[in-house]
A and B are shown apart, each in its own frame.
Chain A
């Protein structure tokens, strides 16, 4: 078993490791956290056996914070996001969003999946506007907001194209616009760039980071890519294999403005990615 560490944000200094011990975060203030997971456990019952997907997971995410979640396949990273969205109820523990306990599907979030999940019969713009239609938002304001997001994500000129006419990267941009249309306080992303090629992925990382800076949204990003996690996040949550627990919380001491190539060359970046690799490697060796 890996060491279980239900560290919360302000206690990350207690984590028994070098990079965590240096952490002394200032972003988390007296305000209620945007997302709070308290002693979460999730058990699935299958025909043959009970599977514990998550156990003893506690995490506080501050408003406007960017948190990346990494871990081996099947450690319950996606489950974590579904809990926050209210698409799944925990077997034990409490989930709160903006200080309110989560009881069912929540409307005050934006969700991006690995696959863009676009409607084939709608143009890019109308896919984005689906969010407004379902919520009954005023049409004119929604359209203006969609145009703004289209510009922000570089979809100009593609707004009337249908999903099958768009590349994977473009489709994912449309999904991102759709998730941001209603200006959600919390954005949940489940391996949004997993299906993209490396180059497109880097571009999307840069853009996502810029959008996050510009919109001040709280972001929870599940990813398999360690560089992606460190480049984007304020904090990286490293998870252990099933049953998923939080192995360590790693604070990324990088400036808010991050130029891609320069950031990747910093020692801080290397230390953080190195530490995560070490943790994940150690976790993998147990199997």
Chain B
């Protein structure tokens, strides 16, 4: 994204030059700790409460296993959870990627053709109202027990935030920027590639963050309805056997997948849009 054109002559760095200071690693670690300690403290309290309630026997162990028992399951059967977790991750990613591709494409078409927008947008909004979880059994009937229905549900759930955020982003472009582009004699594809698309990326990424977590939900719902692998299947099996430690372990792994995918999207955003992230974080400007 940020290729820099280096000048043939070395830029003269005079006093008052805009300094793009990067915080030192130490400073960043302190900042991270500053941000993280409160939620971490709350989590520790919750785990502590769970531990106390389970260990004290106030709740039967088949209803609420101790954190220790849950961790034991993860440690005892790492291969089992890993394999099924991987299946869910694969379905999620496939669904997410398809949703992003189709979502961006539909958004671009809708923004550039008002006929398509007028036709498609109301239907999209209406389709969003239909609970996709309720259609899941139908997909299993149509597509069988394979990966198909899981990916399809993930796509359908993740699609909406991608389209909406991309349409918003493409429309949020400064109209003066587009007029300027017209006076430059820019061709429509140039305006799109150099102005509209990059300008829409911050909006798109906020949609992607929502979409990626929803994609996990979609894949797991697909597995609930009919599957013989994946974390949804693991949870359903454990539920049937009243194997609550395994149920909790499945939940834990599933949440972990969601968190990791979310963080990956955030990292991609930071790498692709450094200008956006830095503008959000610090408002430091140089004076004239």
**B115 interface hit (Cβ, 8 Å):** no
CB-based contact A105/B182 at 8 Å: yes
Q: How far is the CA of A85 from the CA of B179 in the complex (A)?
A: 10
Q: Which of A152-192 contact B (CB under 8 A)?
A: 156-162, 164-167, 169-170
Of A126, A147, A170, which one neighbours B9 at CB under 8 angstroms? A147
Of B13, B182, B284, which one neighbours A87 at CB under 8 angstroms? B182
Residues in B with CB closer than 8 Å to A169 are: 288
Of A135, A143, A160, A164, which one neighbours B184 at CB under 8 angstroms? A135
Residues in B with CB closer than 8 Å to A109 are: 183
CB-based contact A159/B180 at 8 Å: no
Which of A9-17, A54-62, A110-118 binds B?
A110-118
Q: Which interface class (under 10, 10 to 19, 20 to 34, 35 or more) fits B?
A: 35 or more
State how many angstroms separate the Cβ of A269 from the closest Cβ of chain B: 25
Of A87, A147, A159, A170, which one neighbours B286 at CB under 8 angstroms? A170
**B253 interface hit (Cβ, 8 Å):** no
**B278 interface hit (Cβ, 8 Å):** yes
CB-based contact B5/A126 at 8 Å: yes
CB-based contact A117/B174 at 8 Å: yes
**B241 interface hit (Cβ, 8 Å):** no
CB-based contact A157/B13 at 8 Å: yes
Which of B85-93, B143-151, B162-170, B192-200 binds A?
B192-200
> Scoring B residues 242 to 257 as 1 if CB is less than 8 Å from chain A, else 0, what string do you get?
0000000000000000
Q: How far is the CA of A157 from the CA of B2 in the complex (A)?
A: 19
Of A125, A129, A157, which one neighbours B16 at CB under 8 angstroms? A157
Given A85-B183, A200-B288, the answer on whether A133 and B7 have CB atoms closer than 8 Å is no
Of B14, B18, B183, B288, which one neighbours A106 at CB under 8 angstroms? B183
CB-based contact B5/A131 at 8 Å: no
Residues in B with CB closer than 8 Å to A123 are: 4-5
CB-based contact A113/B286 at 8 Å: no
Q: How far is the CA of A149 from the CA of B223 in the complex (A)?
A: 62
**B206 interface hit (Cβ, 8 Å):** no
Residues in A with CB closer than 8 Å to B286 are: 158, 161, 165-167, 170
Q: How far is the CA of A110 from the CA of B183 in the complex (A)?
A: 8
**B185 interface hit (Cβ, 8 Å):** yes
CB-based contact A131/B184 at 8 Å: yes
CB-based contact A165/B5 at 8 Å: no
CB-based contact A143/B1 at 8 Å: no
CB-based contact A135/B185 at 8 Å: yes
**A107 interface hit (Cβ, 8 Å):** yes
**B126 interface hit (Cβ, 8 Å):** no
Given A134-B194, A157-B12, A164-B278, the answer on whether A121 and B1 have CB atoms closer than 8 Å is yes
Scoring A86, A130, A134 by chain B CB atoms within 10 A of each residue's CB, the highest score goes to: A134
CB-based contact A170/B288 at 8 Å: yes
Q: How far is the CA of A119 from the CA of B177 in the complex (A)?
A: 8
Residues in A with CB closer than 8 Å to B20 are: 161-162, 165
Q: How far is the CA of A67 from the CA of B183 in the complex (A)?
A: 20
CB-based contact A134/B198 at 8 Å: no
**A278 interface hit (Cβ, 8 Å):** no
Residues in B with CB closer than 8 Å to A126 are: 4-5
**A271 interface hit (Cβ, 8 Å):** no
State how many angstroms separate the Cβ of B112 from the closest Cβ of chain A: 18
Given A117-B176, A119-B198, the answer on whether A125 and B190 have CB atoms closer than 8 Å is no
Of B179, B185, B287, which one neighbours A167 at CB under 8 angstroms? B287
**B25 interface hit (Cβ, 8 Å):** no
Q: Give the interface of B toward A (CB within 8 A).
A: 1-2, 4-5, 7-9, 11-14, 16-18, 20, 174, 176-177, 179-186, 190, 194-195, 198-199, 273, 275-276, 278-279, 284-288
Cβ contacts A to B, 8 pairs, < 8 Å: A106-B183, A109-B183, A117-B180, A123-B4, A158-B286, A161-B286, A165-B286, A170-B286
20 extra interchain contacts, Cβ-Cβ under 8 A, other than A117-B174, A162-B275? A85-B183, A105-B185, A107-B185, A121-B2, A121-B273, A121-B275, A121-B276, A126-B4, A131-B184, A134-B194, A147-B9, A156-B14, A157-B14, A164-B275, A164-B278, A165-B286, A166-B18, A166-B286, A170-B288, A200-B288
The 7 closest A-B pairs by CB, nearest first: A161-B18, A134-B184, A105-B182, A107-B185, A134-B186, A157-B14, A165-B18
